[in-house]
């Protein structure tokens, strides 16, 4: 269960806003940080951010703040609240106690105080959100006029109530900011009997095979498309993942070794639901896209993985792609029409990306830059069922 930390900035606090501009919005180059942190923190930051600049924030080293800071772990949620609005949401990547780093990053701009902000935390996936704070209060069971002060954290009983109903605070706040409906976690028992085949799979029976005749696409083509999507992810600036059993085959065939080694760190959903998906693009602690490549295997099996993911992470905004030859379009549509998948509204989340469109992207981008999730989504289809 992730902790949720809140930091309050009084409106009009010029010192806080200067610091926010300097180390959150502009971020801090890694070389400015590395000599002032220990090797363990340095290695963690390098693994998460690579050479990218990092958002950094800090709190005064008072006894009350220190007790909360000591509970802080990688992957915890953090909110910066200015006045009545949530200004930023992100995740804790790492932390350190460093008066030296505090002096380098933040100067006291008021009076002659020498006190620093020595409790330093590095923030992954920072997103400015400008969402009214009462929206968060409703989620956590606070009164809407709850007055936040200083550096605080959400109590365990409120966290348990929240995570018992919802999947991920970051995704929920983004959805609320975009005016979208927020969904609660779906209890698998509630839909267990909707589709008899899904029930059989849950009891250990093998998934049904597709009834298509033998498709004119070899298994090696599956591997080539998988590798192409991994390469696309790296061109888009993302970290990439494939199931561990596939990684050695991809490396042997294409000399591609650039897989994310710490896939689980801080991830916004349970790892077991994503680690066997054919290709995943990841940015720091956030998943950006997930792809199931289906040519000779059952379309159903790939959609079932996406269904599991939708049940445990219904508010996650990243796109899900079934990637297959164009002649399998009708089969994908048929499978999306299954009662279980219709109940989950999986067709609203899953897009169909043909091998032909993958090759179009490959020809358009080549080995250059400019590739993004948006570009790939634009080539995919939303199938109506």
Confirm whether 132 is domain-assigned.
yes
Domain boundary among 177, 204, 228: 177
Q: Is 327 helix (H, G, I), strand (E, B) or coil?
A: helix
Q: Read off the pTM.
A: 0.81
CA atoms within 13 A on the CB side of 208: 12
Q: How much is the pLDDT for 317? A: 79
Cβ burial 246-279 (10 Å sphere, 16+ → b, else e): beeebeeeeebeebbeebebbbbbeeebbeebbb
- Residue 197, pLDDT > 60, answer no
Q: Whole-angstrom Cα distance, residue 279 to residue 292?
A: 7
- Residue 118, pLDDT > 90, answer yes
Q: How confident is the model at residue 206 (pLDDT cuts 50, 70, 90)?
A: very low
**CA-CA-CA-CA torsion for 304, 378, 226, 305, nearest 10 degrees?**
-10
Instruction: Taking residues 92-98, report their average pLDDT.
Output: 95
- Residue 194, pLDDT > 50, answer no
CATH code, domain carrying 27: 3.10.590
Q: How confident is the model at residue 266 (pLDDT cuts 50, 70, 90)?
A: low
253 Cβ contact partners less than 8 Å away, ≥ 6 residues apart: 220, 223, 224, 227
- Residue 200, pLDDT > 70, answer no
- Residue 382, pLDDT > 60, answer yes
Instruction: Taking residues 154-181, report their average pLDDT.
Output: 89
Residues 33 and 147 in one domain: yes
Confirm whether 384 is domain-assigned.
no
Where is mean pLDDT largest: 104-118, 128-142, 214-228, 252-266? 128-142
Domain boundary among 132, 153, 177: 177
Q: Whole-angstrom Cα distance, residue 192 to residue 174?
A: 30
273 token code pair: 């639901």
Q: For the chain, how many structural domains are there in total?
A: 2
Q: How much is the pLDDT for 258? A: 87
At 111, phi and psi to the nearest 5? 70, -160
Higher pLDDT, 289 or 260: 289
253 token code pair: 């065939």
Q: How confident is the model at residue 201 (pLDDT cuts 50, 70, 90)?
A: very low
Q: Report DSSP state, residue 22.
A: I
Q: How much is the pLDDT for 265? A: 57
Q: Whole-angstrom Cα distance, residue 351 to residue 326?
A: 13
Residues 133 and 246 in one domain: no
Q: How much is the pLDDT for 88? A: 94
46 Cβ contact partners less than 8 Å away, ≥ 6 residues apart: 30
Q: How confident is the model at residue 179 (pLDDT cuts 50, 70, 90)?
A: confident
Domain housing 282? 188-379
Per-residue pLDDT tens over the stretch 269-296: 566 667 788 999 988 888 889 999 987 6
Q: How confident is the model at residue 308 (pLDDT cuts 50, 70, 90)?
A: confident
Q: Report DSSP state, residue 21.
A: I
Q: How much is the pLDDT for 270? A: 62
Q: Which is nearest to 47 in space by CA: 247, 234, 233, 284?
A: 284
Q: How much is the pLDDT for 101? A: 95
Q: How much is the pLDDT for 106? A: 92
Confirm whether 182 is domain-assigned.
no
Confirm whether 385 is domain-assigned.
no
Q: Report DSSP state, residue 337.
A: T
Per-residue pLDDT tens over the stretch 329-370: 999 999 999 888 888 889 988 999 999 999 999 888 877 777
Residues 272 and 347 in one domain: yes
Q: Which is nearest to 79 in space by CA: 28, 146, 125?
A: 125
Residues 128 and 23 in one domain: yes
Q: How much is the pLDDT for 330? A: 92
Share of the chain above pLDDT 90, in %: 49
In this structure, the strands spanning 77-82 and 85-97 are: antiparallel
Q: How much is the pLDDT for 336? A: 92
- Residue 90, pLDDT > 60, answer yes
217 token code pair: 């696409």
Confirm whether 183 is domain-assigned.
no
Residues 158 and 307 in one domain: no
382, 347 Cβ separation under 8 angstroms: yes
Q: How much is the pLDDT for 112? A: 63
Q: How much is the pLDDT for 269? A: 58
Return mean pLDDT, the chain: 85
Residues 129 and 194 in one domain: no
Confirm whether 314 is domain-assigned.
yes
Domain boundary among 177, 209, 241: 177
**Which residue has 């009214």 as its token pair?**
132
Residues 284 and 315 in one domain: yes
- Residue 68, pLDDT > 90, answer yes
């Amino acid at each position: 269960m992730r902790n949720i930390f809140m930091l309050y900035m009084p409106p009009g606090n010029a010192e806080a806003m200067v610091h926010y501009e300097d180390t959150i919005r502009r971020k801090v180059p890694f070389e400015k940080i590395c000599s002032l942190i220990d090797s363990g923190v340095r290695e963690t930051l390098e693994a998460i951010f690579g050479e990218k600049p990092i958002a950094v924030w800090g709190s005064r080293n008072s006894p009350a703040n220190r007790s909360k800071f000591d509970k802080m772990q990688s992957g915890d949620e953090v909110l910066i609240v200015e006045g009545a609005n949530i200004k930023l949401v992100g995740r804790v990547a790492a932390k350190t106690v460093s008066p030296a780093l505090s002096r380098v990053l933040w100067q006291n701009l008021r009076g002659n105080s020498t006190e620093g902000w020595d409790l330093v935390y590095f923030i992954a996936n920072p997103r400015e959100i400008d969402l009214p704070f009462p929206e968060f209060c409703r989620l956590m069971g606070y009164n809407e006029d709850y007055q936040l002060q200083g550096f605080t954290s959400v109590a365990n009983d409120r966290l348990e109530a929240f995570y018992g109903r919802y999947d991920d605070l970051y995704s929920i706040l983004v959805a609320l900011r975009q005016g979208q409906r927020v969904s609660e976690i779906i209890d698998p028992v509630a839909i267990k009997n909707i589709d008899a085949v899904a029930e059989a799979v849950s009891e250990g029976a093998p998934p049904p095979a597709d009834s298509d005749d033998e498709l004119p696409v070899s298994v090696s083509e599956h591997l080539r498309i998988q590798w192409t999507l991994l390469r696309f992810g790296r061109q888009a600036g993302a970290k990439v993942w494939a199931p561990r059993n596939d990684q050695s085959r991809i490396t042997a065939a294409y000399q591609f070794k650039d897989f994310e080694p710490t896939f689980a760190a801080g991830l916004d959903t349970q790892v077991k639901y994503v680690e066997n998906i054919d290709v995943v693009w990841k940015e720091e602690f956030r998943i950006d896209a997930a792809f199931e490549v289906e040519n000779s295997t059952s379309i159903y099996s790939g959609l079932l993985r996406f269904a599991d993911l939708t049940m445990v992470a219904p508010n996650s905004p990243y796109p899900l792609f079934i990637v297959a030859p164009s002649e399998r379009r009708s089969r994908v549509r048929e499978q999306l029409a299954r009662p279980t998948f219709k109940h989950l509204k999986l067709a609203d989340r899953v897009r169909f990306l043909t091998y032909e469109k993958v090759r179009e992207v490959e020809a358009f981008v080549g080995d250059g830059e400019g590739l993004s999730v948006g570009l790939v989504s634009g080539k995919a289809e939303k199938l109506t069922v």
